[in-house]
């Protein structure tokens, strides 16, 4: 642990509060025991005691910070000066303060040796409080540092899991697209156009996989690559309704492409049945909805929330937290999906080139 974390001090107001509470308590007790005359003693001694506490605190912090011993001379000078001043005040001349402190009837209190013993007891008592204050500061600093490290670990762990889920989402889509490529090439009248569309989407997916942090793309960008996907998955009965004025709105990458791919893969377009992929704005939210008939073989899959819907929900919540709303269901062999995400116009990621 670095010294700057270990030796981070309390704010000044915390010192003031702690010392005020301590001296109010001991002054109140002494006034109760010795009477109001103790106020004179307290008014003189409290500044001295505060000085001893804070000087001792600073000495311990200097030792732990590795400061050179040549800077400690002032501490010795402070001790000698306080010792000398105390002796002069108590024994140098008659005064009210000395009368409150010394019992003149007790001869054992007089002399240099008794004074030295009393001074050491007094000084060490409050020096230990200063050292204790420094230790409490260090313990609190260590505790805060460890708490922040654990919180950072949790945050980084969540970010890593979020990035992993996003990469799984992208790789899952690209894997499905690759599996469909050979079939689409054999079926196409112009295989080169299919391969070109696949290459453009593959390059886009590769750039997405290398991105870091919160990853969003514009709706304009998404529809651009959706156009290439339509060249691979040709189905004229899937209608798109994506207003051009929403082009700057940010969504998760490959969202529209994945929805379109699932509609194509699991949809039932016999007997002129149509499907609709629609994007619209409602207040501060973007509503994305799909409606399509599904084949009998896909009925169980959608009914259990399959076909990547669970993964999609995790990805949406990673990016938009609890602000996202998603619902889906099958009724009369028609699958309906509704996604509501808050409108975001700026992404933390660099804009990807459309080519």
pLDDT digit string, tens, across residues 207-216:
988 877 668 8
Distance CA 42, CA 20 (A): 13
Distance CA 169, CA 167 (A): 5
Residue 307: which region, alpha, beta or left (left: phi > 0; alpha: psi -120 to 50)? left
**Domain coordinates in residue numbering, the chain:** 3-152, 188-342
Distance CA 282, CA 276 (A): 18
Q: Give 265's strand partners.
A: none
Classify 127 as helix, strand or coil.
Answer: helix
Asked if the model's pLDDT at residue 106 lies above 80, the reply is no
State the DSSP code for 349.
Answer: S
Classify 153 as helix, strand or coil.
Answer: helix
Please, what is the average pLDDT of the chain? 83
Distance CA 299, CA 180 (A): 21
Distance CA 137, CA 140 (A): 5
Specify the DSSP element, H or E, that contains 224: helix 219-232
Asked if the model's pLDDT at residue 108 lies above 60, the reply is no
Classify 282 as helix, strand or coil.
Answer: strand
pLDDT confidence of 109, banded at 50, 70, 90? low
pLDDT digit string, tens, across residues 65-86:
777 666 677 788 888 898 888 8
pLDDT digit string, tens, across residues 229-286:
999 988 888 999 999 899 899 999 999 999 999 888 888 888 888 899 999 999 999 9
Distance CA 167, CA 255 (A): 13
Asked if the model's pLDDT at residue 126 lies above 70, the reply is yes
pLDDT value at residue 352: 41
Size of the chain in residues: 355
pLDDT value at residue 188: 84
Instruction: Provide the b/e sequence for 149-172 (b: ≥16 CB within 10 Å).
Output: eeeeeeeeeeeeebbeebeebbee
Structure-block tokens of residue 93:
């001349």
pLDDT value at residue 182: 85
Classify 288 as helix, strand or coil.
Answer: strand
pLDDT value at residue 338: 94
CA 164 from chain centre, in angstroms, equals 19
pLDDT value at residue 257: 94
pLDDT digit string, tens, across residues 19-61:
999 999 988 998 888 788 778 888 888 899 999 999 888 888 8
- Report the CATH fold assignment for 188-342: Heat Shock Protein 90 (3.30.565)
pLDDT digit string, tens, across residues 135-165:
998 888 888 888 887 887 776 777 788 888 8
Task: Identify which of 234, 244, 48, 22 has the alpha carbon closest to the alpha carbon of residue 136.
Answer: 22
């Amino acid at each position: 642990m670095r010294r700057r974390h270990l030796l981070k001090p309390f704010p000044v107001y915390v010192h003031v509060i702690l010392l005020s509470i301590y001296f109010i308590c001991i002054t109140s007790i002494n006034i109760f025991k010795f009477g109001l005359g103790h106020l004179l003693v307290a008014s003189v001694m409290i500044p001295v005691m505060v000085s001893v506490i804070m000087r001792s605190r600073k000495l311990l912090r200097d030792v732990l910070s590795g400061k050179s011993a040549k800077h400690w001379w002032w501490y010795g000078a402070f001790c000698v000066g306080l010792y000398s001043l105390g002796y002069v005040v108590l024994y140098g001349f008659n005064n009210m303060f000395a009368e409150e402190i010394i019992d003149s009837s007790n001869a054992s209190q007089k002399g240099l040796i008794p004074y030295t013993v009393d001074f050491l007891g007094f000084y060490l008592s409050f020096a230990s409080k200063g050292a204790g204050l420094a230790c409490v500061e260090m313990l609190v600093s260590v505790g805060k540092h460890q708490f922040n490290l654990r919180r950072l670990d949790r945050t980084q762990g969540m970010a890593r899991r979020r990035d992993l889920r996003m990469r799984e989402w992208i790789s899952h889509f690209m894997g499905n697209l690759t599996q469909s490529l050979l079939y689409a090439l054999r079926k196409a009248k112009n295989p080169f156009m299919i391969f070109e569309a696949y290459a453009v989407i593959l390059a886009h997916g590769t750039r997405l996989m290398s991105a870091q942090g919160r990853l969003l793309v514009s709706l304009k960008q998404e529809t651009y690559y959706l156009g290439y996907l339509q060249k691979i998955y040709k189905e004229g009965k899937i209608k798109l309704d994506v207003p051009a004025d929403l082009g700057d709105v940010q969504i998760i990458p490959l969202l529209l492409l994945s929805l379109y791919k699932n509609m194509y893969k699991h949809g039932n377009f016999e007997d002129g049945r149509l499907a609709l992929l629609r994007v619209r704005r409602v207040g501060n939210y973007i509503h994305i909805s799909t409606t399509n008939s599904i084949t009998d073989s896909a009925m169980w899959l959608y009914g259990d929330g399959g076909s990547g819907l669970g993964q999609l929900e995790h990805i949406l919540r990673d990016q938009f937290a609890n602000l996202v709303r998603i619902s889906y269901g099958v009724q009369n062999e028609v699958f309906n999906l509704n996604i509501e995400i808050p409108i975001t116009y700026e992404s933390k990621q660099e804009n990807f080139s459309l080519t």
